[in-house]
Chains A and B, each alone.
Chain A
Amino acid sequence: MSTFKYGDDKIEAREIMIAIPSMAIAIGILTFPRHLSDVTEFSDGWVSIILSGVIAMLFAWAIAKLASKYPNQSFLSYASLLVSKPVAIVLTLLFSIQGIALTAFEVRAISDISHQYLFDKTPFEVVGLCFLLVVVYAVSGSRAGVFRLNTLFFPIIFCTTVILIFFAIGYMEVDNLLPVFKTDMSGYLEGTMQSALSYTGIGILFFYISLVKNPKKTPRMAAFGMGLVVITYVIIYLTCVAVYGPATEAIRFPLVELAKEIEVPGGFFERLESVFFVIWIMAIFTTTMMAFDVTVMALNSIFPKTNKMKIIFLLSPLIYFVSTIPSNYLELGIFAELVSYSGWGLSGTVIILLWIMHKIKGGRKNEK
């Protein structure tokens, strides 16, 4: 009966730390320099990134803290403790809808960007379908496998981004960064709003913390993981602005163009973009996979008797269908904002609501 168990159902706090950047770094990393430099002057966008990053870190910390107060309890069970079961079910459903939307968006976005740079004639549908199939394959494996994939891919994504920036040094012009602090307050605020869109998917923490073996350390780890994202974003933003200057706001995917522009002198790897495509598809893959997995997890907590595979097979066509809805790049942009803002809104309201309820109920407990 007893197969040699390897603590398969449980994950380490460290894996949460890796899951956060794997989740947050997605399509946003390719486009955010454009949006951000649109509303801020010169290199000032980094202030906005840090501002929104700190907010994201706070949120991550708060969610992890709350969830770790109910170790090994699913979101549904501790939310029903705090805000009664029907409300908890509604919240979980909202999270799963958000997850479906996010998955669908990423699937669509990957086919869009592949079309921009890799394909001409291959239909969007096929590109997206292949990607979705791989995601389904990943999600249908064990949940620990999802985290292991993050652990495998994250160092690759991180290292190659560092390499990209290293090679970009030769193309940078410091003049493009100067002068500093010339943006007005509203610019910073708008920039903060814009860059906040790139910190997607804090909501996963509500669900994944319940898997952590020893959740004491998770709040710190979650915040630290978010910190990694902030650092990455700041560096990428500064690189893009230093290389492109005012053109940053006019390039559709500044980071991809960066990889295209850089030529390593001599040899086979003169054109590095191929390598970077691999990396970004991986980054987007991890996000999509976790968004899907959390959705499945959320729905599974509502319908505990339903087989996980059944949920996956029911959701996949739905996701695929949603991903084909936006008919052009403008609608896709609106879709993106919708998904991001709803993610922030949902996570934000839920965490504030739950904290308040926790304080009230926790207080009561202490009285007893």
Chain B
Amino acid sequence: MRRSSLFNRLKRKKEQSRQAGKSNFNNMKVTKKLDNNLSNIKEMLGDPNDLVVRELLIGSIEKRAGMVYISGLTDENLINNNILKTIQLNLKQFDSNIIEKIHKEVIAITDIKQANNLDDVSLGILNGNTAFYLDGHETVLLMGTAGGESRAIEQPQSETLIRGPRDGFVESINTNMALIRRDIKDPHLRFKPHEVGKRSKQTIVVSYIEGIVNPDIVTEINRRLETVDIDFIADSAYVEQWIEDSFLSPFPQILNTERPDKVSSDLMQGKVAILVDGTPFALVAPISIGDSLHSMEDYNQRWFSATLLRVLRYLSAFLAIFLPGLYIALVSYHPGMIPSTLTYSIAATREGVPFPAAIEAILMAVTFEILHEAGVRLPKVIGQTIGIVGGLVIGEAAVSAGIVSPIMVIVTALTAIASFSVPSFSIALTFRILRFSIILAAAFLGLYGIILVYIMVNIHIVNLKSIGKPYSAPFAPTFTKDFKDLIIRAPITSITKRPYNLKPLDQESKDILPEKKS
């Protein structure tokens, strides 16, 4: 209830601000005079360098015309060959319905729209269209000539697989949609566009398969996207943060991925993907806690090895969160729970270390976080240097200087490695936050504190939702049928049903994971 009223409030606010955001060219019509029109559009866009305004005289009908486009956004070859040339050559005689004629017969471009409003024209131009003005006419032709430089399809940087398709999303939403279309040749695949960005006017596409996905999910996502009220979306993360269920939660409630195969298989399961123009990261929702620990690799290996890998990943998630805390609790509070010989060797190595275990752990963890952050932000070449320096500083110097104990180095290193084996970066960040709270709890109350924090995290998770779906599903509420693809990954031949916890319309599915053909 609270949540929905919040969204409603946002929506109202958005409508107001949309009114406010309109320019003073509001609703200005295209006039009959070509010169007026051209100067209007120039004035509206501020007459930038990259705005090409080409005036021409169409000889055959003796009319002046104008073409306006932005050079970097358009495919100029297309303009020359399919517009300019054809108009000059093919337009034979004047007609009362000349615009219609040009639209229908002359121009060799498929995507043509008509507009008579300055706002629409300017938006069209900014989207890479070419505007065609004809003197004496109030209608403008907007021709789809979008093109220009863009990144080629490459292997995804953030999620690499050993086995699996090599293509990843790019910044162009059209390419991304095409990538999904190539995977799923289902006529029920839907792309519902939204326009967001008060000023940037970006496209967001909600993608789902009608007939599979639970329509409530789609409605809810669409409703939330309506409320997005922001100037500019640099990445899908903006959208994610705007529509997620709880912004106070450390857990990511929407998954992001660079992989078309992942999006396709999620669509097949009954999830919804959100593509955002200008970023290679697509969003997938609703998700559960388990989804963050799954990788596409799991399906691309045989089930036995995949299951073991998954168990390993759950284990490393456990280590990444609990290891330093457990170490502190055992060393400072409950030495009786460590085997005797291990106790003595830890005690021997800790002899002379000036800090208590908790401080030592925080020290090391913070150092590690700094190194990690430095390594990520720096260019790749220097980043490696950071790794070496960090390894030396932590591993050797700190120990021989007697600031930290060797055991602590092992603990920190193991934690770090474990947290890197988590496939999703956003959940890895969550684990880092949790790790620090566990460290604090362990420093305060030992094992008891760890258990209490663990219970608190569980309480948080069971109350958390992803687009209205419980985040803890299918563990609780329990969907035993979904356990086949949770901690274990059952043989692919036995996963014949879509996940029950998503409540899909069409339960039978022989092809959760469509064979990738590219």
Q: Which residues of A contact B (CB under 8 A)?
A: 1-6, 8, 12, 14-15, 114, 118-119, 122, 127, 130-131, 134, 137-138, 141-142, 144-145, 147-153, 267-268, 270-271, 273-274, 277-278, 281-282, 285
Contacts and interface: CB of A to CB of B under 8 A. Distances in A.
Interface string B152-182: 0000000000000000000000000000000
Contacts of A144: 462, 470, 477
Contacts of B342: 268
A114 B448 contact: yes
Contacts of A145: 459, 462-463
B281 to A, nearest CB: 23
17 contacts: A2-B4, A3-B4, A4-B219, A4-B468, A5-B216, A6-B465, A6-B477, A8-B470, A130-B445, A134-B459, A137-B456, A141-B462, A141-B463, A145-B463, A148-B477, A268-B338, A274-B447
Contacts of B123: none
Closest 4 CB pairs of A and B: A4-B468, A151-B476, A148-B476, A148-B462
Interface string B324-365: 000000100110111100100000000000000000000000
Given A119-B448, A149-B476, A151-B477, A273 B468 contact: no
A148 B455 contact: no
Contact of A130 (B8, B339, B449): B449
Interface of B: 1, 3-4, 8, 214, 216-217, 219-220, 330, 333-334, 336-339, 342, 445-452, 454-456, 458-459, 462-463, 465, 467-470, 472, 475-478
A15 to B, nearest CB: 8
B468 A5 contact: yes
Given A130-B449, A282-B451, A142 B339 contact: no
Given A119-B448, A277-B447, A4 B4 contact: no
A114 B4 CA distance: 43
Given A1-B4, A3-B3, A6-B468, 9 more contacts: A3-B4, A144-B470, A144-B477, A148-B462, A151-B475, A151-B477, A152-B462, A271-B336, A281-B451
Contacts, number: 114
B446 A118 contact: yes
A14 B478 CA distance: 9
Nearest to B446: A118
Main SS class of interface, A: helix
A164 to B, nearest CB: 15
Given A152-B458, A274-B447, A4 B220 contact: yes
Given A4-B469, A118-B334, A118-B446, A153 B4 contact: no
A150 B476 CA distance: 9
A106 to B, nearest CB: 14
Nearest to A1: B4
Given A1-B4, A4-B468, A282-B455, A152 B476 contact: yes
B337 A130 contact: no
A273 B333 CA distance: 14
A114 B478 CA distance: 32
Nearest to B470: A6
A144 B451 CA distance: 22
B455 A270 contact: no
Contacts of A8: 470
Nearest to B329: A274
A4 B478 contact: no
A281 B451 CA distance: 8
Contacts of A147: 476
Contacts of B337: 271, 273-274
A148 B456 contact: no
B246 to A, nearest CB: 12
A122 B462 CA distance: 31
B518 to A, nearest CB: 34
Contacts of A150: 476
B458 A271 contact: no
A139 to B, nearest CB: 9
B334 A274 contact: yes
Contacts of A138: 455, 459
Contacts of A127: 445, 448
B339 A268 contact: yes
Given A134-B455, A274-B447, A152 B3 contact: no
A271 B459 contact: no
A152 B475 CA distance: 7
A271 B338 contact: yes
Contacts of A274: 330, 334, 337, 447
A253 B478 CA distance: 33
Contact of B458 (A12, A118, A149): A149
Chain A CB within 10 Å, residue with most, of B3, B8, B334: B334
A118 B448 CA distance: 8
